[in-house]
Structure 1
Amino acid sequence: MAILKPTLLAALASMAATTQAQSTNPSVGSNSKAQGATDDVTPSTGPNGSEDWLNTGITGDGWTPPFLALSDVLHITLDQFYSGIGSPCAQYDTYFQNASTKYTIDPVILAVIAMQESSCNANAGGPTPGLMQVSCDNYPNGQCTDSIQDNVDAGTNYFKSQLDAAGGNAIQAFGAYNGWFTAGSGLNGGKGLTEGSPCSAEGRANGVPQNLDYLHQVLNGWLMGLDVYGGDNWIGTYKCDQSCADGSKC
């Protein structure tokens, strides 16, 4: 019996996980407007474009987000999300629907953001509390409240503001929600977010290193109905513990 090398074993395990995840989630189809798009989700590609495309510039002179309109982003339906990995979010549907009406953002986008940010835990704490995990500056009157609707509205308001500032570019808006920045922001020597910035002295001074898997995980993971925090954590190629202690890239 031949002995498989560890690298081959890892590759086979990844392939098996990919196949299993695809078979249990609705088919969405690849986005013809996104470069490197594939019908199936793999560790580095998916229906909304490849990770390399979403992360354009990360390995060079800084993040230069390609353009993808929010209306062109592929995703499963809200019912599919609630009946699958997004089941913890279903109890907050009224809040997502209200914010959707107010800010004209699809409620499934809001539910996915809440799932990614807090696992849909309205009691999540920290400096950016609640479901949407945004700063108090985005609340009515710039002050945090105990209202779940205020929290969802604050997160939606912030996402919409970033979408408008990016000229409708969903990739840039999703990145901004996670603290990504482009050239001209004044950070990282005036460059956009780079592969080395999360764990640089400046990167550490500005908080927890940003996960460079983020865009791929959101656009090709959560929005496809895959559990990025659970059995589908193989999605993405930048793996680290976000403490900069393990020597890997975030």
Structure 2
Amino acid sequence: MFAFRLAGIKLLSLVALTLVFVATSASAVFANLEPRNNLPTTSKQHLSLQRRSAILNNNPRRMGRRSKRHCKAKSRDDATTSKGAKQHSGSHSQVSSQNKSGTSSNSGFESDSESKTSSSVSGGLFGFTSKNCGSSGANDDQPNGSQDFLNCGLTSGGWKPPQLSLSQLRIMPASQASTAPVFAPCKEVLWAFEAAEKAHGVPATVLMSFAMQESTCNPNVTGGNGEQGLMQITRDKCRGAPNGNCKDPWFNVDTGARYFKTTLDQCGGNVLQAIGQYNGWQLGLTVKKATAAKAQGNCHAQNNLDYLYQMLNGWFLGKANTYDIGSYKNLAAC
């Protein structure tokens, strides 16, 4: 009888061990079946399809072989957009090294066309003098130069801006701009400006300044001449937009940043000329030419003669009253 009970106990123990083993194995199997891609099906932010594909493609271990299919663009326009999207993460280390190495270079003149993201709060044009335009007139209220200096030649033969590089200017660091009240409208799409900075080397604060000046950082704005979105890019720059949506925040900011950087390079690094061209300024511009559209019944088509001053001594510094500064105010009556 005792032997029978002992055998029964051994049998029950064996069954229990077997059940534990089976349960453990099943847990391991289900754990391996759990999806490794933790990205949500629908992003909380309004990312374009190309941008989302780029994010997924930057995690090849998660996507396996599938990611290779998304790396090949179907057209030249798609290739340009896809290439720009994938460069966001790849250029991060390059921009970071520029930030570290260039912080103290604001006071020195840069003759090359490379735009650095290193302009710090200690920069500015204090003591700077141009051969053709004279003293910058920089002071604590206008560290990036007086309006007469920035608009040099506008009232005497045509606009001919002094040669200045982006790294010479005082620009609010992006870390401060991201929480500054004046840039509050840009907060929800801050990620788009940060991505464009990494891709093109243009400071996020500069890009947000363009957006505030052009659209009050509203991604849904359509300009009077059909300009699109945050950066108010023209229709000819909308090729390759995701689903034809030129107002897509990532596409719009990235396109605007690329255009500005290209213009800056073409201008030999002259940041004043490049910023002016973003608002339609050209070398040789005069007050009469800039305001001619008003006499023709199209007030909003004028060039904003306060544009440079508002950008450099307003938005770049995070000033709350930027729309009100400047002496011309030629758009105020529109």
Question: Who wins on radius of gyration, i.e. which is larger?
Answer: 2
Q: From the superposition, tell whether residues 154 and 39 of structure 1 become closer, same or farther in structure 2 (CA, over 3 Å).
A: same
Q: From the superposition, tell whether residues 164 and 205 of structure 1 become closer, same or farther in structure 2 (CA, over 3 Å).
A: farther
Deviation at 1:49, TM superposition (A): 1.0
Q: For 1:81, which of 160, 172, 177 is the aligned residue?
A: 177
C-alpha separation in 2, matches of 1:67 and 1:40: 21
Deviation at 1:160, TM superposition (A): 1.0
Q: For 2:275, which of 161, 164, 174 is the aligned residue?
A: 174
Opposite residue 290 of structure 2, the aligned amino acid is P
Q: From the superposition, tell whether residues 81 and 239 of structure 1 become closer, same or farther in structure 2 (CA, over 3 Å).
A: same
Q: For 1:70, which of 151, 166, 173 is the aligned residue?
A: 166
Tell me the alpha carbon deviations over residues 51-108 of structure 1, each in whole angstroms, 9 at most, x when there is no partner: 1111011001111111110111111112322322011112111111111111111111
C-alpha separation in 1, matches of 2:216 and 2:137: 27
Aligned to 1:38: 138
Question: 5 Å matches for 1:6-21?
Answer: none
TM-score by length of structure 2 reads: 0.55
Unaligned runs of 5+ residues in structure 2 are 1-119, 130-134
Deviation at 1:227, TM superposition (A): 2.5
Q: Is the 8 A contact 2:192 2:249 kept in 1?
A: yes
More helix by share: 2
Q: For 2:234, which of 114, 119, 135 is the aligned residue?
A: 135
Aligned to 1:236: 326
Is 1:110 equivalent to 2:211 in the alignment? no
Aligned to 1:94: 191
Opposite residue 252 of structure 2, the aligned amino acid is N
C-alpha separation in 1, matches of 2:177 and 2:295: 34
Aligned to 1:59: 155
Aligned to 1:4: none
Question: 5 Å matches for 1:183-222?
Answer: 192-200=284-292, 204=296, 208-222=301-315
Opposite residue 150 of structure 2, the aligned amino acid is L
Question: 5 Å matches for 1:145-156?
Answer: 145-156=246-257
Tell me the alpha carbon deviations over residues 188-208 of structure 1, each in whole angstroms, 9 at most, x when there is no partner: xxxx11011123369859971
Tell me the alpha carbon deviations over residues 116-165 of structure 1, each in whole angstroms, 9 at most, x when there is no partner: 11111011113111000011222344865342111011111111121011
C-alpha separation in 2, matches of 1:96 and 1:65: 27
Tell me the alpha carbon deviations over residues 202-223 of structure 1, each in whole angstroms, 9 at most, x when there is no partner: 9859971111111011001111
Q: From the superposition, tell whether residues 213 and 88 of structure 1 become closer, same or farther in structure 2 (CA, over 3 Å).
A: same
Higher relative contact order (CA 8 A, sep 6+): 1
Helix, strand or coil at the partner of 1:59: coil
C-alpha separation in 2, matches of 1:159 and 1:204: 29
Tell me the alpha carbon deviations over residues 24-70 of structure 1, each in whole angstroms, 9 at most, x when there is no partner: xx9756423463343322xxxx1111111110110011111111101
Deviating above 3 A after TM superposition, structure 1's stretches of 4 or more consecutive aligned residues are: 26-30, 32-35, 139-144, 201-207, 241-244
Helix, strand or coil at the partner of 2:301: coil
Q: From the superposition, tell whether residues 29 and 168 of structure 1 become closer, same or farther in structure 2 (CA, over 3 Å).
A: closer
Unaligned runs of 5+ residues in structure 1 are 1-25, 183-191, 245-250
C-alpha separation in 2, matches of 1:203 and 1:61: 21
Taking only the aligned residue pairs, the percentage that are identical comes to 38
Q: From the superposition, tell whether residues 62 and 204 of structure 1 become closer, same or farther in structure 2 (CA, over 3 Å).
A: farther
- Comparing 100-109 with 163-172, which one deviates more in the overlay? 100-109
Measured on the aligned residues, the alpha-carbon RMSD in Å equals 2.5
